[in-house]
Amino acid sequence: MSTLKARRAALRARSRLPYAVTFTLVSRNSKVGPIPVSTTSRGTCPPDCGLFDICYAASGPLGGLWKGLSATKPGGTFVNGRGIVQTYTWQSFCQQVAALPPATLWRHNQAGDLPGNGNTIDPVAMRDLIEANRGRRGFTYTHKPLSAANLALIRFANHNGFTVNLSADSLADADRLAETGLPVVVVLPDTVQGNEHIATPAGRRVAVCPATYMADVNCASCQLCQRQGRKVIVGFPAHGSNRRKVSIVARGGVS
């Protein structure tokens, strides 16, 4: 078995385990800003994701957190740097979300995907999260494939106040996802500049995430990704240790 196939097999085996979550009430991630943020174990990530093996979240300080979280049972602890990190079960995580003050802006998953192992969204866990978020302003992103069941749950989330952005791997892919009428984000080559005029092949406007090129902007101040009814697609230039490989994906496989 090749190294890549062995790695994917190991991740799939891990994805059968219950998923653990961390929840930080005040994020120290400069791109996110001082809002609540969660991280979910890697078993929730769909193997069909085009960035599955080159995800930005697998490297740097976030990569260390994600690795430790993904190897820890829900409700357990692990060492990350000099500190001890507490993980939560899905139920206890949802209780914390429900305890947030009304209208709180928060980001679900600086790493990880919607609840459910692999390609499938867990309908019970997803509805629990949507209910916990009611009256709050949570938002997130997903690479889960748009099966009929997954798409129905994502629509239900967006229609009930929890913003789920569909993640595209190229501008052409962004057009395909935008046909759903749901909010879309897209990965862009690492050479993209913040002031560039970018459009999809079908002419849809792409706004480069301002937190990627403006030091005084973050999720807390921008809030564009939380807006369910927006027409603009939000673009994220490739970053992290695999940004060159991600850029090839963003160009449709052209290096």
pLDDT at 228: 92
Q: Where exactly are the structural domains of the chain?
A: 3-250
pLDDT confidence tier of residue 253, bands split at 50, 70 and 90: confident
Query: What's the gap between Cα 26 and its chain centre?
Result: 18
Task: Give the residue with greater pLDDT, 101 vs 7.
Answer: 101
Tokens encoding 39: 């991280």
So what's the pLDDT on residue 135? 98
pTM (2 decimals)? Answer: 0.91
What three-state secondary structure class fits 14?
helix
